[in-house]
Amino acid sequence: MDVNGFTAPGFEAVAEAFARNFTEFQEVGAAFAAYRDAELVVDLWGGVADPQTGRPWQADTLQLLFSGTKGLTAACVLLLAERGQLDLDAPAARYWPEFAAAGKGAITVAEIMSHQARLPGVREPFSAEDMLDPRLMAKLLAEQEPLTDPRAGFTYHALTYGWLAGELVHRVDGRTLGAFFADEFARPLELEVWLGVPDDLHPRVSTMVAGPGFLTDPDQPPSGDPLRDLTRSPLTTADAPALWNSAGFRRAEIAGVNAHGTARSMARFYACLARGGELDGVRVLKESTLELGRRERRRGVEPLWDGPIAFATGFELQTEQEIFGPVPDAFGHAGAGGSRHGAWPADRVGLSYAMNQARTAPDPRPACLLTALHTALRALEPSPGA
């Protein structure tokens, strides 16, 4: 398998780690990119974008990011806060009056953004087609009571985060979240990232496949745990790949799970955030806004998967699992199946790993790449006294 792209001098070991993901860990198709300041120092891709046809992964292949989308959504909400259009500590119902129904009047914007709204699932039955309509899903959540199960305030809001945050952006600004991100971030930073992929770009999108054990039986009986059953995701059932790869899913704007982009552009986005909101003379956020956005709002054990979790305002923070590499101040957002998208502020680095085979954790593929990148950066540091 050929590794395509390049690495800057000193980063050759990252390309070796990328190649090992194919030879040792059966990677299907993937890309990995990293910026240091405004310089693209790693830009790699390889494998196949469509395992059925053998279509190769190209420099411009677009990849489904799953929850990597959530970091983009966080930036949009933070920009509205920076402009004074939205107060993170205000009740969400200030901007979305219908949300106050059923005892939700005190739930704040920050609680929504940090997965503490106690709305980790939708009680009303919904179809896959319904899921592609963010306004409908937001309406169902606005009518729903918050859960009384004490675990719900620490339960990851995998799908509902996006419907809630996307509706807030729409209520405050008038644009959909996809349009807002395109206008305020993607175009200014020249990013190939879309929340709602235009039809003419669908041929560039890779085909997402599931690795062993990633999918669940859609007809499995209730677990006996109402919280677990409520949060069972239609995106991980055995029939989900047909949805992931459908034109309707690619067109939709599901603000928590279905942005598509290149690893190169996601790394550029996070390089901008790592530099305090500015890249190549383009400022998209103030440094003070990012400091607020990175402030920890929740840390603990996720009750359903029994693992550590930490959140700021929409961004994931580092935990002892080091999902963003061996860097304490890292932040960003991982995506289901193994992708990683984040910033290393002290190093002024933005990075992204995107792949088209979703696997269960622990996944050695991103860990090997991030370790190699970190080692390369440390080796390039001047020696003491130099």
3-state secondary structure 9-22: CCCHHHHHHHHHHH
Q: How many CB atoms lie within 10 A of CB 345?
A: 20
- The residues pairing with 357 across neighbouring beta strands, listed in sequence order, are 209
Q: Which tokens sit at 258?
A: 């279905």
254 vs 236: CA distance, rounded Å = 15
Where would I find the beta strands (DSSP E) of 211-337?
A: 260-261, 278-279, 282-283, 298-302, 307-311, 316-317, 331-334
Which residue type occupies 53?
T
Q: Which of 67, 114, 265, 352 is catalytic?
A: 67
Whether omega for the bond prior to residue 97 falls within 30 degrees of 0, making it cis, is no
The CA-based angle 323-328-334, given to 5 degrees, is: 25
117 vs 146: CA distance, rounded Å = 7
How deeply is 362 buried, as exposed, middle or buried, from its count of CB atoms within 10 A (0-12, 13-18, 19+)?
Answer: exposed
Q: Which tokens sit at 84?
A: 């004074």
Which residues does 40 contact at the CB level (< 8 Å), separation at least 6?
Answer: 8, 33, 34, 264, 267, 268
> In sequence order, what DSSP letters do the residues of 51-76 get, joined into one string?
TTTTEEP-TT-BEE-GGGHHHHHHHH
- CB 33 within 8 Å of CB 352: yes
318 vs 333: CA distance, rounded Å = 10
Let me know if 67 is a catalytic residue: yes
Active site residues: 67
